[in-house]
Amino acid sequence: MTEAAGGDSGAPHACWSCHGPITAAALFCHVCGAVQPPRPLDAFARLGFPGRFEVDAAEIDKRYRGLQQRLHPDRFTKRSPRERAIAESQAMSLNDAYETLKDPLKRAALLLERAGRSSPIGENRTIQDPALLMEAMEVREALAAATDLAAVEAIGKRAAAEDRRCIEALGAAFGAGELDKASRQLTALKYWRKLAEEIRGRRAAIAHGAG
């Protein structure tokens, strides 16, 4: 898949403090050392990863922790209120980027957005795949009819297996540049994750005698 730009990560900007040249992804000015405000970058560009679905989770953790350590509030106790506010804003942007790259659902949605595709997982989107829609109805009916934890756990195992299958299929689809297939798999993944929430609720209800 062709990687779309994730913002102006390579474009020059001026430091707010000394007006020296910096890149959009820079946390600090290399001239005066002032922390820089977060620029309009997506999660891949903000954490310095290529726009691919397959990511190294351990490397994401490592890179995120390293950047957050540089923005720790203790490092800014003697800085101006403006710099402390900027550092906090940078830290929040890094948090958002980290959560996006760690979550296959959000990561896939971002890749589709990068490719100019609208996300199939918006709040008001409904399932358009007839086969998935029928499966959704059947599984939800089975969950509603479950009266013991064993039945709920069986549905839960199925949902977990389908979650893993969708993630593997997303990796294959993005790797082959098959964006239509990736979009369908993303819709399916959203469904199975939503079902997992319902399963947890049903399990709790039965465990507390409310089922």
**pLDDT value, residue 124:** 58
38 residue type, one letter? P
Residue 95: which of 85, 105, 104, 87 has the closest Cα?
87
Q: Mention every residue, 6+ apart, whose C-beta is less than 8 A from residue 168.
A: none
pLDDT band at 211 (very low <50, low <70, confident <90, very high): low
Helix, strand, or coil here: 56?
Answer: coil
Q: Which CATH number fits domain 130-207: 3.30.365.10, 3.30.230.10, 1.10.3720.10, 1.20.1280.20?
A: 1.20.1280.20
* Cβ atoms 37, 94 nearer than 8 A: no
**pLDDT value, residue 8:** 61
Residue 92: which of 38, 26, 27, 28 has the closest Cα?
38
Helix axes 104-114, 149-175, angle to 10 degrees: 30
> Is residue 170 scored above 50 in pLDDT?
yes
11 CB neighbour count, 10 Å cutoff: 11
| Beta strand spans in the chain (E) | 12-14, 21-23
Q: Mention every residue, 6+ apart, whose C-beta is less than 8 A from residue 3.
A: 50, 51, 52, 114
**pLDDT value, residue 32:** 94
Q: What is the C-alpha to C-alpha distance for residues 15 and 2, in angstroms, rounded to an integer?
A: 32
**pLDDT value, residue 135:** 87
- The domain made up of 12-102 has a fold known as Helix Hairpins (1.10.287)
Determine the number of helices (DSSP H) and then strands (DSSP E) in the chain: 7, 2
- Over residues 86-145, the pLDDT tens digits come to 999 999 999 999 999 999 999 999 999 999 988 776 655 666 678 888 888 899 999 999
- Over residues 137-149, the pLDDT tens digits come to 899 999 999 999 9
Please state the rounded mean pLDDT for residues 57-66. 97
| DSSP string computed for 145-166 | H--SHHHHHHHHHHHHHHHHHH
Long-range contacts, stretch 18-21, CB < 8 angstroms, 24+ apart? none
- Over residues 24-47, the pLDDT tens digits come to 999 999 999 999 999 999 999 999
> Is residue 1 scored above 90 in pLDDT?
no
What residue ranges do the domains of the chain occupy? 12-102, 130-207
Mean per-residue pLDDT over the chain, rounded? 90
**pLDDT value, residue 10:** 60
> Is residue 6 scored above 80 in pLDDT?
no
Q: What is the C-alpha to C-alpha distance for residues 106 and 114, in angstroms, rounded to an integer?
A: 12
Helix (H) or strand (E) holding 62: helix 57-70
**pLDDT value, residue 207:** 85
Q: What is the C-alpha to C-alpha distance for residues 44 and 59, in angstroms, rounded to an integer?
A: 13
